[in-house]
Structures are given as structure tokens and as C-alpha cells.
Amino acid sequence: MKYLTYSGNNILAVNLPDDADVLYAPPPLPGLAKPDIPAAVRRAFEQCEGMPPLRECVNASSRVLIAFDDNCQPFPPTTLPDIRQQSIETLLELLYSYGVKRENLRMLCAVALHRKMKTHELARMLGPRIMREFHPHQLDNFDAENRANIANLGVTSEGEPVQVDRRVVESDLVIYVDSVQIPLNGGHKSVAVGLGTYDSIAPHHHPRMTQHSPHVMQPSGSHMHASIERISRVILRKARIMVMEAAMNNATYPPYVSYLGKPDSRCNIAEKFLKFATPLAMKALPEPARKIFLRGVRGAYAPVSIAAGSIDAVHARTLDVMTRQMSVNAPRQYDTMVFGLPDLSPYSVDARINPVLVVSDVLGYIFNWFYHRPLVKKGGVVILLNPLLEVFHPEYHVAYRRFYDEVLREGTDPFRMKERFQEKFARDPHLIECYRHRYAHHGFHPFTVWNWATFALNYLSDVIVVGPPDDRVARRLGVTWAKSMDHALGLAREKSGGSSVAALTIPPFFYCADPAAGAGS
């Protein structure tokens, strides 16, 4: 059978066994049209859940901090205006009408240890009005290494350090504006991580968090999310925090390419023809042209729900929408999972995906996109299609290049990496300088994404990559190289001892759910 999938900036029709199962995301839930979003935002702040409405939380003397996520999500980027622009513009109108003075407002892009956003990126996200009124003196990126702006709030019951931007505790109200694409994000993670430091993030991005439990992509059953919540509860004792979450549908593609994420049963005649013709057309194009075409696709995501109020009340509603949108029935486990990874990662915005992120995206993200149990059996195999290009953005991925050259040269075990290299990278003056002033990810960041793969690295018998011309990069990453899909499937049968195959068509994103266990939890 033919399986339409990505491999970097290419779209392929791959031969799979006839009895393989190909899983697709459900159709997008109906979302709000862009003209309707401001009214929904206004209603959310006027009818807050779990706390008083916004007008009762502020007055003419209130100091308000507005925080928002960076451009890691939603991805691929959406058409304009960005929902954060629409939400914050509406929020500002409300605050002004309640008497809040503009000089008492501050805005922070909650980058955590991600790379800081450039001015033109902030402008695309927030629009000209907000940039004109607030940037740069009242609008900037959070800086986790600016120690003068960090508040130490003690430790949690488990001894985890609690550090956060001091403006969180100095403000009368913090409002976190968030668009949530997968259950990983939003909730207690927003302020506690987005405005946290290396010292406060390292405990919950430790390899032990996923050593025995795979849950990292959802709060339920997750050691990582439990740690984040403990930190958040300490912050909440010192700060008043209101969140606004827009739970997004999974309309990754605009209509003209939506066939890429649909089974034949949901395609019309024209779309079926395009599914057949696209791999042939892509094969005829040079790689730079394929890159331009795929990078030009803008997501059609729309919010299914917009709610404001307390973290617990609002995020419960968001997770309900996520479960309804993303659950795909997977009543059994498979010996082999096949997945084609595009040149796309939340940590490679405006850059090519590097080899470290390829492993992280598949074993940290895709493998963990399930609710009850992994799609793959214990001892199973993941086959990955990607060219594994040995490219690292010279600005953004400075730490990733060193991680690839220095850390992976010594091995792939996350615990050994932590023991030998983590502190060296996290405290390195050059990497800190690159993070603070040169738009690079923090020196600790490549460790965080590799740590998310801890469970999968121990659980699987092998990871096999198809796409590179030889095994050189695969060997550095600690995975197996195969010259073709047939070769990879043969190796997978030998390693797993079985022949059942499931292939994932992602994006759009989805979580596998065991129907016998009930809805996603």
C-alpha cells in the first residue's frame, strides 16, 4: 500500500505492507472565524472562570504584566492577524476602559530558555499598534539570565528551586495570553516555565522524569507536569495570575493542501488526484523550490474555545477541547511505527531542523502523543523518514552544534549527558551571551529535548532512519540507518520479532487513545 508522508522538504509515496494501518487526525472541530475572536476574548475576560471578572481585578493604580508565548506555537505559523495580536489588542481596550494606565503595563514574551524573538518576529505576532505603543521599553523578551530581574521564591515541598521574573511578583495582576495546540502547553506550565530560569526548569526537565513513565506531552500521570505544578503553586502564593487560553483546532493546512492530512475516504476526486500527483511533482522540483513551497504554507488553525480566569479552571476546559479534537482510536499496539518528519520543529522556527531536533521531535514528541499507552509495543521499532541534514543555524542553534559535536560523540545516554556535560553547557559564558544577546537557544536547551526521549530510548529495541545517503549522522545520533524502506521494514521485523505496522500521517497532530480505556486522560 502507498503511504503519503514527509521526509524533510519532500513528500513521498512510500510502499508499506498491505496489512499496515495508516492513522490520520480527525477532521478539525469548528473554530471561530478571525472577525469573531475579539468578541470571544472580551466575553472571556468579562466572565472569568474560577476568579472574578477582569474589571474587578484591576483599578486605576494597578500594575499589570501581560505575558505571552513565543512563536514555537502554533506551528506552522498561522495567517495574520495572529490570535495573540487580536487577544492582546482586545485586552488592552478592556484594561484602559477599567482605568489602567498605559505606563503601568508591561509585556513579556515568555521565551523561557528558547531563543529570543527578533523585533520583526514580535511585530508579526503582535501587530503594528502594540509594537508602536510598547516596544521596546514596555515590551521585550524575558531573559532567564538577567539575574537582576529574577525573584527567588524558595523551594517546593520536593526541594525544587522556584525562580521567576521579578515582575510576576511585583505586579498587581499577571495575565498570561496563550494559544494551546497540544496538551503539553498551557496551564501551570505557562508562567512557571515560560518565565522561569535554568535552575527552576532543570528539575522537571531531568531525565528521571521520563525514565520509567512516558508521559510528558500531557499533564495526566506526568512526573514532569507534577513538578511544574508544584513550582506554579509556590508562585501563586506570591502573585495573582489570570490566564487566557485559546484551545486551537487542528486545521494545520489551508484548503488548497488539506488533502495532505486526510485519508482517501475524506477526499474528493480532485484531492485524490493531488495525493497521487504530489510526490511526482515534488520529485521533479529541486530541494530549494520544495523548501519555498512548504515554508509558504500557513496554518488555518482557529480557536474552538477561548476562556479566561484561574489556571485550574481554564486549563481543564482547554484539555477537554484537546481531547475531543486530537483523540484517534488505537485499540492495539504495533511492532513498528513509521513516521515521516518534515523540516519542521517548534525549536527551528526560521531555520532548518537539525539532527538533534529530529530525534527529539520523533521520540520526545511524536512517540509520546498518546493518552493511555504507547502505540508501539515494548521492544518495538520506530522507522523515521528524514534526510538528517547535518545543518545547524549559526545564530539559533549554537548550543545544539556543540551538543552534537561534543556530547553525542561520547554517547546518547541522557543520565550520562547530565552528569558530564549539563552544567558545563548551562553555565558556559559564551552560550549565555549567545542566549542573551544573539538569539540562540540556551545552553541547556538541547539537553531538555533529548531528555524527553529518555523513555523511548529505553523502551524501543531500535530506531531506524531512512533518507540519508549513508549512516554517518545516524551513528552519531545512536540510531540505525537503512538504505530503503524495504530494508528498514526487514530490520524492524528482526528486531521486534513481529510484523504489525502502523504509519502516522502527521501533521495535523493527534494523540492515540485506547478506546477500551475511555476518553483521553
Q: CATH number, domain at 158? A: 3.40.50.11440
- Does one domain contain both 308 and 416? no
- Does one domain contain both 140 and 120? yes
Final residue in a domain of this structure, among 241, 274, 294: 294
CATH code assigned at 503: 3.90.226.30
Beta-strand pair 64-68/173-180: parallel
- Does one domain contain both 226 and 365? no
Final residue in a domain of this structure, among 284, 310, 326: 326
What's the whole-model pTM score?
0.97
Domain count, the chain: 3
Strand order in the sheet with 139-141: 139-141, 105-109, 64-68, 173-180, 241-248, 303-309
Q: How far apart are CA 221 and CA 321, in angstroms?
A: 19
Please list the rounded mean pLDDT of every run of 10 residues in the chain (521 residues). 97 97 98 98 98 98 98 88 98 98 98 98 98 98 98 98 98 98 97 98 97 90 97 98 98 95 97 97 96 94 98 98 97 98 96 96 96 96 98 98 98 97 98 98 98 96 98 98 98 98 97 82 50
Residue by residue, DSSP assigns 79-143 as: SSSPHHHHHHHHHHHHHHHTT--GGGEEEEE--TTSPPPPHHHHHHHHHHHHHHHHTTTTEEE--
- Does one domain contain both 127 and 153? yes
- Does one domain contain both 281 and 392? no
Letter string b/e over residues 451-462, b meaning 16 or more CB atoms within 10 A of that residue's CB: bbbbbbbebbbb
- Does one domain contain both 306 and 186? yes
Closest CA to 513 of 217, 256, 251: 217
- Does one domain contain both 15 and 90? no
- Does one domain contain both 173 and 215? yes
Q: Are 430 and 342 in contact (CB under 8 A)?
A: no
The three cell numbers locating residue 131: 509594537
- Does one domain contain both 241 and 322? yes
Q: How far apart are CA 188 and CA 156, in angstroms?
A: 14
Q: What is the pLDDT of residue 520?
A: 54
- Does one domain contain both 354 and 448? yes
- Does one domain contain both 168 and 79? yes
Q: How far apart are CA 429 and CA 422, in angstroms?
A: 14
- Does one domain contain both 6 and 67? no
Q: What is the pLDDT of residue 7?
A: 98
Q: What phi and psi values does residue 107 have, to the nearest 5 degrees?
A: -125, 140
**Predicted confidence (pLDDT) per residue in 377-389, tens digit:** 999 999 999 999 9
Secondary structure element (H or E) that encloses residue 339, with its range: strand 334-340
- Could you tell me the residue range of the domain that residue 162 belongs to? 31-254+297-326
The three cell numbers locating residue 135: 516596544
Final residue in a domain of this structure, among 309, 326, 343: 326
Q: How far apart are CA 479 and CA 492, in angstroms?
A: 13
Spatial CB neighbours of 377, under 8 Å, sequence gap ≥ 6: 333, 334, 335, 496, 498
Q: Taking every pair of C-alpha atoms in the chain, what is the biggest distance, in angstroms?
A: 70
Q: Are 326 and 182 in contact (CB under 8 A)?
A: yes
Beta-strand pair 327-329/511-513: parallel
